[in-house]
Structure 1
């Protein structure tokens, strides 16, 4: 699990939340190995940079900060792999305000090499929340109540994302833990925002906690009208919207063949189970707020909000991906997965 070292005695805030504000370069040296660095800010997209110091090699080069995608709060966020860094410095984009950083210790925990089988996602290499090391206590407030309780809705759309993290990831489970911490604690989502994640090897990771039953994503059974657990991957349009994220940054790179193949198969399995038409358009209606949007049945994050997600290299591939999902459904007898 994510090991949080040290608590601020008065506020009860983990020291991993090393926050600061201001436009100048700041040095931060937490007392734990830094696995990932999360950054959030308001204002301009471009111009930020960061660097890490490592115990044996000292300071590395300054690297450009990702432009960051707007979160549900409208703030820009970026999550940077740090390896085993011992310190970091950040120069925010010029004009950025309310800059916050979070050093996340994801260096401890399981390195998944043989994912457990899943009855509900048979045919996929699948890792449950326990398998990738989710610290379930993070989902609960100080009073013991769940911060983001489960709620279930009929499935209207499937949405593809990218996580803007490392493309050749030596420990994807660590990255999933970092995303979980960043979403749950730093962004106050109460849980990881995606329902499923896929790494470069084609392994599928369970995302959003969907209840005590063994079925990921849904409320314990598929049935004729499976009910989707609400998540936080598309601000304002989450209820009934199933989010699948590819681990990596596909601004200029493309997914590995293994990741892309698994994405097609997962989308086909979900479309088969939920009745979503891979080639269709959907007049989406948020059952909570009443907000509407006409989108492809297999959508991307940029269909819902002004974001670059799932990346300029992946986005043009969506028509072909939808066609491959449809072809796989037509070639398969009965439900997939």
Structure 2
């Protein structure tokens, strides 16, 4: 029995005809050669750069009716991208293409997904004229799969739409990069790097009959899908060159790190397959092409993402300049993992070359949703390579495609920055403003413009500006003005903060300042930042910086950030105020210690208040009493309630601190004293009383109006100490013979050792205090327990 429909590299296969199968798939089993299993388990591996073998498997789709095609669930060769194509490259499929796929590992079926059918493609007329090109829908990334179900329906309307002829299912296996063993660390061993070795196998595949019938959320069908039968068309298989060999790469989940690349010469025309890549890594990421003020974009080269250069049969074509930079989306799904992006790029290249029959990947660049850029069509990223991006606008243009579909949601900042950088890099050598416009003519007929028709385009247009398509999606298209601004201007520059202490809207420093800022423009497009102090440049840093250190002189200053981009356009931020301050605060009132009302302890500590006032030449931050417990007051005047011991000299230390940390200490040295009431001169009738609640266990009391106690002292502050009770009355207080107060000693309870009245002076002096019994009706008693003084 012959092997039906198997093709490798366009030739009938070389597989033994004795294998009995309706369809077959070629797989590779990974084995290792060389060291024993224990060493293999501990080995470390890395991805190898270079071509990756991909495979295209095709299934012809016969139309059940002129308006519908249904292919029921069936097993297939392994694939990760699925597409649909048809014979006439000029035809559009007006309708819906719904597919669902089966995961190769879990065997579960995906939800129904639709392929985008509005993209007319970007091939030049010469490629179409060769007759090999096909019309295509945008393929869908499905991930590793081994089964598919398809429903294609023509759009309904007043005019009956027919599906295009020659419908075909295109299943693409992106392959895997080889893994090579890393050299062993010094002292462990030094075997040469080894590759996995494959064992080729042929496995028979049959249409599946065990999968459950799918629930169809797709548009309502007008006919019932037929059950799987043995008459369903068998898929044909096309495996890209090189054919399966003795190397089969192991799976990987991470893409290689991007590098900056450049080329200096266009490859010479040749009839042999080009070298694996025409872009060699540059010495540094900031290297630029000659005459280009924009640094080379950081990207993955064709060798790094595994472009199979043997697919590219003709050398690249070149224009004379890049006058516009087209932005696309691939129309594939956006729910992919960025680790799969290189495989998606390989799949799209396979679709462009083997399905659309283009010479190479159509786009000049691609970028995934995480912002990683991929070198696209070969020929040199710094050359005006002619791509196949927008029919009629390929020569003297360049392009980038964002992997995914961006109709309802836009791309992240990293992707916008990547597009802006690559666009500026391509336009800069020709001195074109990325935010500008230009007038051009269509180079070919397409679905929107006629050959020779004049139109005005943005320098960074969307695909829909040049053809009748949804690409690059409504949301991404709406982001193009912001992307143009990022590529051409300094966008979103703002000085966010200065180091140091901030009070209100002003920053304070002893001299050293770090300014920090943000900017929306990609760093690669900024030539430098200047830090301005009072309008003059105080520091200059590269475009990658987001902060800078500088020193300001004493006094008030204004700091700003100025940015200059590759087009020599500049922007300046609003200013922030900063005060340089090297002067410590001063005290306008040294610490004062005064007696306050309250209870004296039985061990003769008395309540006092410590007060100090400070000032600063710029801005005082706080004053602090350092005596335990220390306490900070965020005001020029600090006031602290403390206690002082009888007959003890205490140093009260206060610290004043300004906004930048300059500080000064000042001391107030005071002695507290306590004098017994018995040392006063008595007038009238007084009776001594004793008890443990009195100071020194003694006090004196009088109920006779006019009785008095008179005492002369030297000091700064005085307090009269008394006992209070429900029977206590009033007493007049005279200072230096002048009545200054009347004190009522009544209390519902009976507290003892109470400082009931105080008076203080700014300097120490000799004064006389006299306490006179008022003789309050019903409660005339006045009980004196002594006098407290601060010297």
**Equivalence for 2:76:** 30
Q: Take 2:113 and 2:414, find their aligned partners in 1: how far apart are those partners?
A: 29
Match of 2:474, SS? Answer: coil
Match of 2:76, SS? Answer: coil
- Aligned mate of 2:403, from 247, 257, 280: 247
Question: What's the Cα RMSD here?
Answer: 2.9
Between 1:126-135 and 1:252-261, the stretch displaced more is 252-261
**Equivalence for 1:269:** 425
Q: Does 1:108 align with 2:176?
A: yes
**Equivalence for 2:483:** 321
Q: Does 1:216 align with 2:385?
A: no
Q: Does 1:48 align with 2:116?
A: no
Q: Cα–Cα, structure 1 residues 39 and 68, in superposed 2: closer, same or farther, change >3 Å? A: farther
Q: Take 1:290 and 1:47, find their aligned partners in 2: how far apart are those partners?
A: 33
CA displacement at 1:261 relative to structure 2 = 1.8
Q: Does 1:65 align with 2:132?
A: no
CA displacement at 1:151 relative to structure 2 = 2.8
CA displacement at 1:66 relative to structure 2 = 2.8
The alignment's TM-score, normalised by the length of structure 2, stands at: 0.37
How many pairs were matched up? 311
**Equivalence for 1:20:** 61
**Equivalence for 2:309:** 136
The alignment's TM-score, normalised by the length of structure 1, stands at: 0.82
Match of 2:138, SS? Answer: strand
Check conservation: 1:269, 1:335, Cα contact below 8 A: no
Q: Cα–Cα, structure 1 residues 193 and 83, in superposed 2: closer, same or farther, change >3 Å? A: same
Per-residue CA deviation, residues 111-153 of structure 1 (Å, 9 max, x unaligned), is 414223433675643101111111111112xxxxx2x642332
Between 1:49-58 and 1:184-193, the stretch displaced more is 49-58
Decide which structure has greater strand share: 2
Q: Does 1:89 align with 2:135?
A: no
Q: Cα–Cα, structure 1 residues 91 and 281, in superposed 2: closer, same or farther, change >3 Å? A: same
Q: Cα–Cα, structure 1 residues 174 and 15, in superposed 2: closer, same or farther, change >3 Å? A: closer
Match of 1:86, SS? Answer: strand
Q: Take 1:134 and 1:47, find their aligned partners in 2: how far apart are those partners?
A: 31
Between 1:159-168 and 1:324-333, the stretch displaced more is 324-333
Residues 173-188 of structure 1: pairs in structure 2 closer than 5 A: 173-188=342-357
Unaligned 5+ segments in structure 2 are 1-5, 15-54, 123-127, 129-133, 155-161, 178-251, 262-281, 289-294, 445-450, 491-524, 527-562, 569-791
CA displacement at 1:17 relative to structure 2 = 3.1
Match of 2:347, SS? Answer: helix
Q: Take 1:335 and 1:136, find their aligned partners in 2: how far apart are those partners?
A: 36
Match of 1:53, SS? Answer: strand
Between 1:66-75 and 1:171-180, the stretch displaced more is 66-75
- Aligned mate of 1:305, from 467, 470, 485: 467
Match of 2:358, SS? Answer: coil
Q: Does 1:172 align with 2:172?
A: no
**Equivalence for 2:137:** 77
Q: Cα–Cα, structure 1 residues 317 and 59, in superposed 2: closer, same or farther, change >3 Å? A: closer
Q: Cα–Cα, structure 1 residues 87 and 307, in superposed 2: closer, same or farther, change >3 Å? A: same
Check conservation: 1:84, 1:107, Cα contact below 8 A: no
Between 1:105-114 and 1:186-195, the stretch displaced more is 105-114
Check conservation: 2:92, 2:117, Cα contact below 8 A: no
Residues 196-235 of structure 1: pairs in structure 2 closer than 5 A: 196-210=365-379, 215-218=380-383, 228-235=384-391
Q: Cα–Cα, structure 1 residues 68 and 36, in superposed 2: closer, same or farther, change >3 Å? A: farther
Check conservation: 2:141, 2:336, Cα contact below 8 A: no
Between 1:175-184 and 1:37-46, the stretch displaced more is 37-46
Per-residue CA deviation, residues 273-297 of structure 1 (Å, 9 max, x unaligned), is 3322222221224689766432112
Check conservation: 2:389, 2:399, Cα contact below 8 A: yes
Q: Cα–Cα, structure 1 residues 208 and 265, in superposed 2: closer, same or farther, change >3 Å? A: same
CA displacement at 1:187 relative to structure 2 = 0.6
Match of 1:314, SS? Answer: helix
Per-residue CA deviation, residues 36-55 of structure 1 (Å, 9 max, x unaligned), is 01223544443321111234
Q: Which one has more relative contact order, counting CA pairs under 8 Å at least 6 apart?
A: 1
CA displacement at 1:63 relative to structure 2 = 2.5
**Equivalence for 2:323:** 156
Match of 2:310, SS? Answer: helix
**Equivalence for 1:224:** none
Q: Cα–Cα, structure 1 residues 30 and 278, in superposed 2: closer, same or farther, change >3 Å? A: same
